[in-house]
Amino acid sequence: MLAARTAIRVLGLALFVAVVVVVPSRISEFRASEFALIGIFFIAILGLNILTGYTGVISLGHGAFMAVGAYTTAILMLGRPGLEAGGLSPPDWLPVGDGMKDVYTIPIAALVAALAGALFGLPALRLSGPYLALATFGVAVATPSVIRKFDSVTGGSGGLNLFDSPNLTGAIFNAVHVPGGRTLTFNDWLYYLTWTIALALFVVAWLIHHSRLGRALRAIRDDEIAAVASGVGLAWHKTLAFSLSALYAGVAGSLLAMSAFSVQPGAFPVDRSIALLVGLAVGGLGSLVPLVAGAVFLVFLPQWAQDLSQAPGVPAVIYGAVLIGLMIVLPTGVGGLLRRVLGPLTSRLYPRSQ
Amino acid sequence: MADFLQQVVSGLASGGVYALLALALVLIYRSTGVVNFAQGEMAMFSTFVCWELIDRGLPYWVAFFATLAISFAGGVLIERLVVHAVSRAAAITVVTVTIGLLIMLNGAAAWIWKGEQRTLENPFGTRTFDVGGVVVAVQDLGILVVSLALVAALWVLFQRTRLGLALRASALNPESSRLHGIRVSWMLALGWGLAAVLGAVAGMLVAPTQGSFDQNLMLPVLIFAFAAAVLGGLDSPLGAVVGGLAVGVILNLVGAYIDFFADLRLPAALLVILAILLLRPHGLFGRAAVRRV
Amino acid sequence: MRLLGVISLVFSLAAGAASARPAADPGVSRGEVVIGGTIPLSGIAASYASVGRGAEAYFKYVNARGGVFNRRITYKYLDDQYNPAQTVQATRQLVQQERVFAIFNTLGTEQNLAVRSFLNAAKVPQLFAGSGATTFGRDYRRYPYTIGFLPSYVGEGKVYARHILRTKPNAKIAVLYQNDDYGKDLLSGFRTGLGAKRRNIVATQSYDPLSTDVSSQIARLRSSRATVFVVIATPPFAIRGLVAANRLGWRPQVYVNQVGAATNIMRIIAATAGPRIIQNAVTLISVKDPTSPRFRNDAGMRLYRQIMRQHLPSGHVNDGFHVYSMAVAHTFVEALRKAGRNPTRASLMRAVASLNVRNNPFLLPGVRVRTSARDHFPLDQGQLQRWRNNTWNPLGKVISARP
């Protein structure tokens, strides 16, 4: 029985990988960049799910951690020479380096975001429910002005341009050489990079779900007092969840900086944080694979709404109405629907929640 | 000194604006347990309704009270048609629905009223008076008086009437309220209706302070109203007003007197609020009770 | 497999190996020229949507009269919610998917900066960027495919400084500005323009575009006892700032930047705060004001109203953004005509850099759209205006607003 279940899982994962690999050859070059964007949001939503799905803490501030990741990547890629060439003067004590290849900045962006998450989570997690949610909302609100304030290293409201940087893989439309002798366009490269990382982080999320940590986190969500009584360290686990979740957001932000080949404060407005929560709700709290649906929703629904009508305000009405309708029909998101439909077939394929 | 006092007075004035919307947030949280992200947009929509009525020839006060009635009906309708349908779902689903409402109402207002700048009459007039070099506007005093009056009215409603008791009971414990014969689901609808009325008051009084308004009237106000409600305690009307005034004054003093924060008024104010919350996790006047967002 | 043709074409473009000289550049066909750009259609900056719709209406008007060399102009504008990351994605879509001939009229400084390198590397014209940042006119050597349109903020700041030096050389000056590139650019131009007299600026205060109110800043500015007040703010904050100044009993000589000085905005201030605070206020204007009685019988504005009636009946005629966007669209049509019967991206850029249009019906009389190989500021003239009798009145001749 156990072997069969593992086989199904491995098969499912292999299918997922196969789809991801094949997709670029079926779509246009532009669509590849759109699918990369879906991957980026998928990563961020996976991260938010670790926090909200497992510990029940609602964060409306994950756009801020994306900004931390994005700016870490951008600043490290440019390094001191790049920043100074752009007319900036980063303070001497700041270790911005001399310019670093984009992919190497991703783990650093992840760690910096995780640290930021821990630093915020440590005090903030004393707050409960709505107070914590609104505190994170405050962080999201404050992010753009904080970035603008430190313009000697962030470039202020104009931000940082990465397109011309030699550290951007595939910069200025140079073909990207990948192992195996193939060359990729920038958009295809972005797609493969994003989805490789997304798959890796997906597996990590899955492992967390099935680990002691995952069980402890869910115990906290279901009943804090009972969890403490059974020896779960509340503060430590919550901070860890917050930090892990910020780490995912940081990776997503780092990839977003590459995808948009630039960073600006205006790329991280409050709406960004709210969108991630919406994506999680649509994908389904506590799910894993169905979260892709949430990311697809975030990338495509605004476009579909715009295609229907460009009259002032109408796309927003359509977007809002579809979102509300979806929540009424699928209150547990796409993940909840799949659990209901597939539950009897593969009772353990999808992590349970609720 | 006059400078300092002027900063405090103008902080209290903008604080009054935050307090009005914060009151509506607190009312809905207290009577339905929901943090309503669409509260600001509901208020904005009501303001447009009032504008439309005046534009069609109604006198100001007739339009004012008609708007309150329409807003009440609108609030009840929203609860019945939308919020009720997800009342048993997880907190994140309810929050997402109110976000959907926010987006939809904003778009609908842009659609109907074309995104033009509109102006609304100021019921308190534009007079100001000078107290020892500090200028005080009648309009700002009016807003303060209205918010305090609303606090008193809410206190009477919640503490002194059976209806208020039923409202509180259904938010706190729907199951046992139902057993006591309270029509819980109508109580929730009533809560949304009342919050819509408070929002309408907020919108109609805030719009004149902004000079002109369009569909984005309440988006920034909502941010500060949240800060105010959290600072005061999400379930305390008095807290909402005190929180609003405190947010207004903190923003001004931090921005005006600490040069580093001159460009960082907003983050600085949020930082101060966070610090206060760490000492009092349920706000200045809130009571500790674990409920959903 | 993908369409090999498309790939190779995109690739040759992408690699910059345009040696194969195709018959026509993307976006140009027998009967059509497709251009595109981004505009905030939703979100907090949605009021700028008129900048897209007005241009679209003007192109419809041109198309109805046969287009340019029998080609109709199709203008695809996508919503970026004013978020530069979305601008990048939408521009990518326009270039790589919709295969537009040129990017046109994309709005916002950060938004245009975000796609500038990309468009120049792809050799796609980035025409008439909706930003007053000086870099779009100044840095044409590095970015030959980019050109701005709005009068430069720095130049505008210098004009106000020169006027103050001439009329009130010793006045103490207070400034309110938005704390982003736009506000800082205008302020720096103003400072430069004052030269040695920059010491006369006794107080500056900034505001965050996300705030609700600027009365605290105004109280600080008033206590500096300045007698000249320069307002560098968007309409809502210009209104709030001047209403607050009036309320505090401060009566300085006011300068309002062009962005916040539309007639309907000034009238809102007059209605809310009374006419005194903005009596004799000064601004710089280049585009005709649809609400001004001066242009009631003006041929250009009659054309404007006719186009609005026929091609954008749902739009608000008094919205000055529509006039601005038609002025830009008119300039594009002129450039396209000049680019020849078979326009290429290169010939379009040559045309864009040799404009001399005297009769743009949407610009103030005497304001010319002029560019050359070494002048990439198409709209660098304006006329100072003084607010009297509830409207703007010309103050002197058309002057240069070059940075």
Average pLDDT of span A131-139: 91
CB contacts under 8 A, A 43-72 vs B, are: 52, 58
Name the percent of chain A lying above pLDDT 70.
96
CB-nearest to B11 from C46, C216, C269 is C216
pTM exceeds 0.90, yes or no: yes
Higher pLDDT, B265 or A40: A40
User: pLDDT by residue (tens digit) across C195-241?
Assistant: 999 999 999 999 988 888 899 999 999 999 999 999 999 988 999 99
DSSP symbols for A184-211: E-HHHHHHHHHHHHHHHHHHHHHHHHTS
Q: For position C3, what pLDDT does the model report? A: 43
Query: Does the structure show a pLDDT above 50 at C21?
Result: no
Q: Identify the pLDDT of residue C17.
A: 39
Q: What's the rounded mean pLDDT across residues C271-287?
A: 92
Is the pLDDT assigned to residue A273 strictly greater than 90? Answer: yes
* Predicted confidence band of residue A346 (pLDDT cuts 50, 70, 90): low
Q: What is the extent of the structural domain holding A152?
A: 2-342
Are residues A255 and A40 in contact, defined by beta-carbon separation less than 8 angstroms? yes
Report yes or no: A331 at the B interface, CB cutoff 8 Å.
Answer: yes
State how far the Cα of A23 lies from the Cα of A121, in Å rounded to an integer. Answer: 38
**Residues with Cβ within 8 Å of residue A163, at least 6 apart in sequence:** A171, A172, A261, A262, C117, C118, C121
To which H or E segment does residue C75 belong?
strand C72-79
CA dihedral C372, C375, C379, C380 (to 10 degrees): -130
Q: Give the residue ranges of chain B where pLDDT is below 50.
A: 290-293
Query: CB distance A163–C118 less than 8 Å?
Result: yes
A143 within a domain of the structure (yes/no): yes
Chain C residues closer than 8 Å to A164 by CB: 117
Asked whether residue A353 is assigned to any structural domain, the reply reads no
pLDDT attached to residue C26: 93
Beta carbons of B210 and B13 less than 8 angstroms apart: no
> Could you report the per-residue pLDDT of C33-58, keeping only the tens digit for each?
999 999 998 888 888 889 999 999 99
- A354 within a domain of the structure (yes/no): no
Residue A338 is predicted with a pLDDT of 86
C122 touches chain A (CB under 8 A): yes
Per-residue pLDDT averaged across A28-33, rounded? Answer: 90
Interface of A with C in 267-286 (CB under 8 A): 267, 269, 271-272
| % of chain C beyond a pLDDT of 90 | 79
Other C-beta atoms closer than 10 Å to the C-beta of C232 total 31
**pLDDT value at residue C203:** 94
pLDDT at A65: 97
Q: Mean per-residue pLDDT for A26-30? A: 86
Tell me if B119 is assigned to some domain: no
**Per-residue pLDDT, C403:** 83
Which residue type, as a one-letter code, is found at position B228? A
Q: What is the pLDDT of residue C205?
A: 94
Domains: count for chain B = 1
Q: Is residue A348 part of a domain?
A: no
pLDDT band of C16, cuts 50, 70, 90: very low
CATH number given to C154-285: 3.40.50.2300
Average pLDDT, chain C: 90
Report how far apart, in Å, the C-alpha atoms of C38 and of each of A187, B60, C105 are. 20, 41, 7
User: Chain C contacts of B224, Cβ < 8 Å?
Assistant: 212
How does the average pLDDT of chain A come out, rounded?
A: 89
Percentage of chain A surpassing pLDDT 90? Answer: 59
Domain ranges of chain C: 4-151+298-381, 154-285
Is a pLDDT exceeding 50 seen at residue C189?
yes
Q: Please check whether residue B207 lies inside any domain of the structure.
A: yes
- Taking only the tens place, the pLDDT of each residue in A159-203 is 999 999 999 998 777 788 887 778 888 999 999 999 999 999 999
- Lowest-confidence region among A100-114, A206-220, B56-70, C127-141: A206-220
Whether C4-151+298-381 shares its CATH topology with C154-285 is answered yes
CATH architecture of the domain with residue range C4-151+298-381: 3-Layer(aba) Sandwich (3.40)
Q: What is the ipTM of this complex?
A: 0.92
Among A123-132, A326-335, C394-403, the range scoring the smallest mean pLDDT is A123-132
* Residue B133 pLDDT: 85
Contact C210 B116 (CB under 8 A): no
Q: CATH number for the domain including A315?
A: 1.10.3470
Residue C13 scores a pLDDT above 60: no
pLDDT digits (tens, 9 = 90+) for C241-272: 999 999 888 999 999 999 899 888 899 999 88
Quote the pLDDT of residue A343: 65
Total structural domains within chain A: 1
Over the Cα atoms of chain B, what is R_g? Answer: 19
Neighbours of C346 (CB within 10 A): 15
| A125-129, A148-152, A160-164, B84-88: the lowest-pLDDT one | A125-129
Question: Which structural domain, as residue segments, surrounds residue B19?
Answer: 2-110+131-279
Q: Is residue B284 part of a domain?
A: no
Is the Cβ pair B3, C223 closer than 8 Å? yes
